[in-house]
Amino acid sequence: MTKRAVSYLRTTLVWLNHYENLKKYEIDHKKSAGAYVWTFKIEDAAMFKLWLTLTDEQKRKTGILAKKTPGGTLILPPGVNLEVVNPSLSPIREQDTDILEMIGSGLNEEEGTMMGRSRSTFASANATKGPMSDRISDEIAWFSRYLRYDFWGSVFLLRSKVDSKFKNVISKEEVIGFKPTRKKNEMTGKVEYEHEPVMKKRKQLACQLIDISFPTSEMIDFEGRAKGLLGVKHGPISETLGVSNEDIARRMGFGGYHRLRLKKATEDYYLPKLLYGADAEQLQEKIEGEKPKAKNNNPKQEQE
Protein backbone atom coordinates (compact mmCIF):
# COMPACT_ATOMS: atom_id res chain seq x y z
CA MET A 1 0.00 0.00 0.00
CA THR A 2 1.34 3.42 -1.01
CA LYS A 3 0.01 6.53 0.68
CA ARG A 4 -1.44 8.95 -1.83
CA ALA A 5 0.07 12.41 -1.96
CA VAL A 6 -1.89 15.31 -0.54
CA SER A 7 -4.06 17.00 -3.14
CA TYR A 8 -3.29 20.54 -4.21
CA LEU A 9 -6.91 21.42 -3.42
CA ARG A 10 -6.13 21.19 0.28
CA THR A 11 -4.47 24.60 0.29
CA THR A 12 -7.11 26.03 -2.04
CA LEU A 13 -9.97 25.01 0.29
CA VAL A 14 -8.49 27.19 3.05
CA TRP A 15 -8.75 30.31 0.88
CA LEU A 16 -12.19 29.28 -0.33
CA ASN A 17 -13.39 29.15 3.28
CA HIS A 18 -11.86 32.57 3.95
CA TYR A 19 -13.56 33.99 0.84
CA GLU A 20 -16.92 32.50 1.87
CA ASN A 21 -16.66 33.87 5.41
CA LEU A 22 -15.63 37.26 4.05
CA LYS A 23 -18.71 37.42 1.82
CA LYS A 24 -20.91 36.51 4.79
CA TYR A 25 -19.37 39.37 6.76
CA GLU A 26 -20.03 41.69 3.84
CA ILE A 27 -23.71 40.70 3.89
CA ASP A 28 -23.91 41.55 7.59
CA HIS A 29 -22.08 44.81 6.86
CA LYS A 30 -24.63 45.79 4.21
CA LYS A 31 -27.52 44.85 6.49
CA SER A 32 -26.14 46.94 9.34
CA ALA A 33 -25.64 49.89 6.98
CA GLY A 34 -29.41 50.09 6.55
CA ALA A 35 -30.17 50.03 10.28
CA TYR A 36 -31.32 53.16 12.14
CA VAL A 37 -32.62 54.21 15.57
CA TRP A 38 -35.17 56.88 16.46
CA THR A 39 -33.58 58.90 19.26
CA PHE A 40 -35.76 61.25 21.37
CA LYS A 41 -33.97 63.66 23.66
CA ILE A 42 -36.03 65.28 26.47
CA GLU A 43 -34.10 68.32 27.64
CA ASP A 44 -36.26 69.21 30.68
CA ALA A 45 -36.21 66.81 33.66
CA ALA A 46 -39.70 67.87 34.77
CA MET A 47 -40.99 67.17 31.29
CA PHE A 48 -39.42 63.68 31.42
CA LYS A 49 -41.06 62.94 34.76
CA LEU A 50 -44.38 64.12 33.33
CA TRP A 51 -43.86 61.83 30.35
CA LEU A 52 -43.39 58.85 32.65
CA THR A 53 -46.68 59.59 34.42
CA LEU A 54 -48.67 59.36 31.17
CA THR A 55 -50.55 56.23 30.25
CA ASP A 56 -49.70 54.15 27.17
CA GLU A 57 -52.66 55.52 25.28
CA GLN A 58 -51.70 59.10 26.07
CA LYS A 59 -48.09 58.41 24.99
CA ARG A 60 -49.29 57.11 21.63
CA LYS A 61 -51.33 60.26 21.09
CA THR A 62 -48.19 62.37 21.34
CA GLY A 63 -46.73 60.63 18.29
CA ILE A 64 -43.50 59.58 19.95
CA LEU A 65 -44.57 55.95 20.26
CA ALA A 66 -46.61 56.00 17.05
CA LYS A 67 -45.45 54.14 13.93
CA LYS A 68 -43.23 56.31 11.75
CA THR A 69 -43.88 56.36 8.03
CA PRO A 70 -41.68 57.97 5.33
CA GLY A 71 -42.93 61.46 4.53
CA GLY A 72 -45.20 61.54 7.57
CA THR A 73 -45.70 64.34 10.10
CA LEU A 74 -44.68 64.08 13.74
CA ILE A 75 -45.64 66.73 16.31
CA LEU A 76 -43.35 66.71 19.35
CA PRO A 77 -44.08 68.27 22.74
CA PRO A 78 -42.04 71.28 23.86
CA GLY A 79 -38.53 70.38 25.04
CA VAL A 80 -38.29 67.14 22.97
CA ASN A 81 -35.82 66.74 20.08
CA LEU A 82 -35.90 63.89 17.50
CA GLU A 83 -32.87 62.45 15.68
CA VAL A 84 -32.38 59.41 13.44
CA VAL A 85 -29.03 57.70 14.12
CA ASN A 86 -27.38 55.41 11.56
CA PRO A 87 -24.27 53.29 12.17
CA SER A 88 -21.04 54.86 10.96
CA LEU A 89 -19.39 52.12 8.86
CA SER A 90 -16.46 52.29 6.47
CA PRO A 91 -17.45 51.49 2.85
CA ILE A 92 -16.37 48.23 1.19
CA ARG A 93 -14.15 48.85 -1.85
CA GLU A 94 -13.48 45.34 -3.24
CA GLN A 95 -10.57 44.72 -0.90
CA ASP A 96 -10.79 40.91 -1.18
CA THR A 97 -9.07 40.57 -4.55
CA ASP A 98 -5.95 39.10 -2.95
CA ILE A 99 -7.96 36.17 -1.56
CA LEU A 100 -9.58 35.63 -4.95
CA GLU A 101 -6.15 35.63 -6.59
CA MET A 102 -4.94 32.97 -4.14
CA ILE A 103 -7.94 30.82 -5.07
CA GLY A 104 -7.25 31.30 -8.78
CA SER A 105 -3.59 30.36 -8.39
CA GLY A 106 -4.54 27.19 -6.52
CA LEU A 107 -7.15 26.14 -9.07
CA ASN A 108 -4.91 27.20 -11.98
CA GLU A 109 -7.82 29.18 -13.43
CA GLU A 110 -8.25 32.81 -14.34
CA GLU A 111 -10.81 35.09 -12.75
CA GLY A 112 -12.99 35.26 -15.86
CA THR A 113 -13.32 31.47 -15.93
CA MET A 114 -14.08 31.18 -12.21
CA MET A 115 -16.47 34.09 -11.77
CA GLY A 116 -17.91 34.37 -15.28
CA ARG A 117 -16.80 38.00 -15.56
CA SER A 118 -13.55 39.82 -16.22
CA ARG A 119 -12.56 43.19 -14.78
CA SER A 120 -9.32 43.38 -16.73
CA THR A 121 -8.67 45.31 -19.93
CA PHE A 122 -9.02 43.86 -23.42
CA ALA A 123 -5.25 43.50 -23.85
CA SER A 124 -4.75 41.67 -20.55
CA ALA A 125 -7.73 39.41 -21.27
CA ASN A 126 -6.18 38.42 -24.60
CA ALA A 127 -2.83 37.81 -22.90
CA THR A 128 -4.41 35.22 -20.61
CA LYS A 129 -5.99 33.27 -23.48
CA GLY A 130 -2.75 31.54 -24.45
CA PRO A 131 -1.90 30.04 -21.04
CA MET A 132 -5.54 29.17 -20.42
CA SER A 133 -5.78 27.41 -23.78
CA ASP A 134 -2.63 25.42 -22.95
CA ARG A 135 -4.15 24.29 -19.67
CA ILE A 136 -7.32 23.15 -21.41
CA SER A 137 -5.29 21.27 -24.04
CA ASP A 138 -3.23 19.57 -21.32
CA GLU A 139 -6.36 18.45 -19.49
CA ILE A 140 -7.93 17.13 -22.70
CA ALA A 141 -4.74 15.25 -23.62
CA TRP A 142 -4.44 13.72 -20.15
CA PHE A 143 -8.09 12.68 -20.02
CA SER A 144 -8.04 11.21 -23.56
CA ARG A 145 -4.98 9.07 -22.67
CA TYR A 146 -6.69 7.94 -19.50
CA LEU A 147 -9.84 6.91 -21.39
CA ARG A 148 -7.95 5.21 -24.20
CA TYR A 149 -5.23 3.30 -22.39
CA ASP A 150 -6.15 3.06 -18.70
CA PHE A 151 -9.91 2.53 -18.96
CA TRP A 152 -10.74 1.01 -22.35
CA GLY A 153 -7.31 -0.63 -22.68
CA SER A 154 -7.98 -2.58 -19.47
CA VAL A 155 -11.54 -3.42 -20.56
CA PHE A 156 -10.38 -4.77 -23.94
CA LEU A 157 -7.56 -6.74 -22.33
CA LEU A 158 -9.98 -8.45 -19.93
CA ARG A 159 -12.40 -9.07 -22.79
CA SER A 160 -9.68 -10.76 -24.86
CA LYS A 161 -8.79 -13.02 -21.92
CA VAL A 162 -12.41 -14.04 -21.41
CA ASP A 163 -13.45 -14.29 -25.08
CA SER A 164 -10.89 -15.84 -27.41
CA LYS A 165 -12.68 -14.46 -30.49
CA PHE A 166 -12.06 -10.88 -29.42
CA LYS A 167 -8.65 -9.63 -30.59
CA ASN A 168 -6.93 -7.01 -28.49
CA VAL A 169 -4.15 -6.60 -31.07
CA ILE A 170 -5.31 -5.73 -34.61
CA SER A 171 -3.25 -5.50 -37.82
CA LYS A 172 -3.94 -2.44 -39.95
CA GLU A 173 -2.33 -1.26 -43.16
CA GLU A 174 -0.67 2.13 -43.00
CA VAL A 175 1.56 4.21 -45.22
CA ILE A 176 5.15 3.92 -43.96
CA GLY A 177 6.83 5.92 -46.71
CA PHE A 178 6.93 6.89 -50.38
CA LYS A 179 8.74 5.17 -53.22
CA PRO A 180 9.97 7.59 -55.95
CA THR A 181 9.70 6.39 -59.56
CA ARG A 182 11.28 8.10 -62.57
CA LYS A 183 8.99 9.06 -65.39
CA LYS A 184 9.71 11.02 -68.53
CA ASN A 185 7.26 13.76 -69.43
CA GLU A 186 6.27 13.38 -73.09
CA MET A 187 5.35 17.06 -73.47
CA THR A 188 8.49 18.65 -72.01
CA GLY A 189 10.91 15.72 -72.28
CA LYS A 190 12.07 16.24 -68.69
CA VAL A 191 12.45 13.47 -66.16
CA GLU A 192 9.98 13.75 -63.32
CA TYR A 193 9.52 11.75 -60.16
CA GLU A 194 6.27 10.33 -58.90
CA HIS A 195 5.93 9.15 -55.32
CA GLU A 196 3.91 6.02 -54.71
CA PRO A 197 2.86 5.22 -51.12
CA VAL A 198 4.36 2.14 -49.53
CA MET A 199 1.85 0.17 -47.43
CA LYS A 200 2.69 -2.13 -44.55
CA LYS A 201 0.65 -3.92 -41.91
CA ARG A 202 1.25 -2.67 -38.40
CA LYS A 203 -0.07 -4.07 -35.17
CA GLN A 204 -2.17 -1.78 -33.02
CA LEU A 205 -4.05 -2.16 -29.79
CA ALA A 206 -7.82 -2.13 -30.01
CA CYS A 207 -7.96 0.86 -27.68
CA GLN A 208 -5.93 2.90 -30.19
CA LEU A 209 -8.78 2.66 -32.72
CA ILE A 210 -11.24 4.41 -30.40
CA ASP A 211 -12.40 7.84 -31.55
CA ILE A 212 -12.97 10.34 -28.71
CA SER A 213 -14.59 13.73 -29.36
CA PHE A 214 -14.07 16.69 -27.02
CA PRO A 215 -15.51 20.22 -27.07
CA THR A 216 -13.32 22.76 -28.84
CA SER A 217 -12.01 25.76 -26.92
CA GLU A 218 -12.91 29.10 -28.52
CA MET A 219 -9.83 30.81 -27.07
CA ILE A 220 -7.43 29.85 -29.88
CA ASP A 221 -6.93 32.38 -32.69
CA PHE A 222 -6.62 30.07 -35.71
CA GLU A 223 -6.98 32.92 -38.20
CA GLY A 224 -4.07 34.95 -36.84
CA ARG A 225 -1.86 31.89 -36.55
CA ALA A 226 -2.60 30.74 -40.12
CA LYS A 227 -1.96 34.21 -41.58
CA GLY A 228 1.28 34.59 -39.66
CA LEU A 229 2.69 31.22 -40.78
CA LEU A 230 1.17 30.74 -44.25
CA GLY A 231 0.63 34.33 -45.39
CA VAL A 232 -2.54 36.35 -45.84
CA LYS A 233 -3.54 34.63 -49.07
CA HIS A 234 -3.00 30.91 -48.57
CA GLY A 235 -4.69 27.79 -49.78
CA PRO A 236 -6.14 24.93 -47.77
CA ILE A 237 -3.70 23.56 -45.22
CA SER A 238 -4.44 20.00 -46.30
CA GLU A 239 -3.23 20.84 -49.82
CA THR A 240 -0.54 23.37 -48.92
CA LEU A 241 1.21 21.44 -46.15
CA GLY A 242 -0.22 17.99 -46.78
CA VAL A 243 -1.66 17.74 -43.28
CA SER A 244 -4.28 15.11 -42.51
CA ASN A 245 -7.88 16.24 -42.91
CA GLU A 246 -8.73 14.35 -39.74
CA ASP A 247 -6.35 16.51 -37.67
CA ILE A 248 -7.68 19.70 -39.26
CA ALA A 249 -11.27 18.67 -38.53
CA ARG A 250 -10.40 17.82 -34.93
CA ARG A 251 -8.77 21.22 -34.37
CA MET A 252 -11.86 22.91 -35.80
CA GLY A 253 -14.07 21.02 -33.36
CA PHE A 254 -15.34 18.19 -35.55
CA GLY A 255 -14.51 14.94 -33.81
CA GLY A 256 -14.94 11.55 -35.43
CA TYR A 257 -13.75 12.39 -38.95
CA HIS A 258 -14.35 8.90 -40.36
CA ARG A 259 -17.84 8.79 -38.87
CA LEU A 260 -18.68 12.20 -40.32
CA ARG A 261 -17.43 11.16 -43.77
CA LEU A 262 -19.63 8.06 -43.71
CA LYS A 263 -22.58 10.16 -42.57
CA LYS A 264 -21.99 12.62 -45.41
CA ALA A 265 -21.84 9.75 -47.93
CA THR A 266 -25.13 8.42 -46.56
CA GLU A 267 -26.79 11.83 -46.99
CA ASP A 268 -25.48 12.10 -50.55
CA TYR A 269 -26.95 8.67 -51.30
CA TYR A 270 -30.45 9.42 -49.99
CA LEU A 271 -30.78 13.19 -50.50
CA PRO A 272 -30.56 15.24 -53.73
CA LYS A 273 -27.41 17.17 -54.49
CA LEU A 274 -27.02 20.80 -53.42
CA LEU A 275 -25.82 23.71 -55.49
CA TYR A 276 -22.20 24.64 -54.94
CA GLY A 277 -21.39 28.27 -54.12
CA ALA A 278 -20.12 29.19 -57.60
CA ASP A 279 -22.99 27.41 -59.37
CA ALA A 280 -25.54 29.11 -57.13
CA GLU A 281 -24.08 32.53 -57.92
CA GLN A 282 -24.17 31.90 -61.66
CA LEU A 283 -27.75 30.67 -61.42
CA GLN A 284 -28.74 33.80 -59.52
CA GLU A 285 -27.19 36.01 -62.20
CA LYS A 286 -29.14 34.21 -64.93
CA ILE A 287 -32.46 34.42 -63.10
CA GLU A 288 -32.19 38.05 -61.98
CA GLY A 289 -30.66 39.20 -65.26
CA GLU A 290 -27.54 40.62 -63.65
CA LYS A 291 -24.72 41.12 -66.12
CA PRO A 292 -21.36 39.64 -65.11
CA LYS A 293 -18.62 42.13 -64.37
CA ALA A 294 -15.72 42.53 -66.80
CA LYS A 295 -12.44 40.99 -65.73
CA ASN A 296 -10.35 44.04 -66.75
CA ASN A 297 -10.77 47.72 -65.91
CA ASN A 298 -11.46 48.90 -69.48
CA PRO A 299 -14.49 51.26 -69.33
CA LYS A 300 -15.16 50.92 -73.08
CA GLN A 301 -15.48 47.17 -72.82
CA GLU A 302 -17.88 47.55 -69.86
CA GLN A 303 -20.09 49.92 -71.92
CA GLU A 304 -20.17 47.46 -74.80
Segments making up each domain of the chain, as ranges: 9-66+76-86+94-119
The answer to whether the CB of 40 falls within 8 A of the CB of 63 is: no
Task: Check residue 79 and give left, alpha or beta (phi > 0: left; psi -120 to 50: alpha).
Answer: left
**Regarding beta strands 37-42 and 80-85, do their DSSP bridges make them parallel or antiparallel, or are they unpaired?**
antiparallel
Checking 60-64 for CB contacts under 8 A at 24+ apart, the result is 64/40
Task: Note down pLDDT in tens along the chain; length 304 residues.
Answer: 566 666 767 778 888 888 888 888 888 888 887 788 888 888 888 888 888 888 888 877 777 777 787 777 777 777 788 888 888 877 777 666 777 777 777 777 777 677 766 666 666 666 666 677 777 778 888 999 999 999 999 999 999 999 888 889 988 888 888 888 888 877 777 878 788 888 888 888 989 888 887 776 665 667 777 777 777 777 777 777 888 888 888 777 777 788 888 888 888 888 888 766 556 667 667 766 656 555 555 555 545 4
CA distance 304 to 291: 12
- Contacts of residue 291, defined as CB under 8 A and 6 or more positions apart, other chains included, come to 285
Helix ranges (H only) for the chain are: 9-33, 45-53, 56-62, 97-107, 111-115, 122-127, 129-145, 152-162, 222-230, 237-240, 245-251, 257-270, 277-288, 299-303
CA distance 125 to 7: 29
264 burial (CB, 10 Å; 0-12 / 13-18 / 19+) is exposed
Amino acid at 276: Y
**Could you tell me the maximum CA-CA distance found in the chain, to the nearest angstrom?**
129
User: DSSP secondary structure string, 267-300?
Assistant: HHHHSPPPPPHHHHHHHHHHHHTPPPPPSS--HH
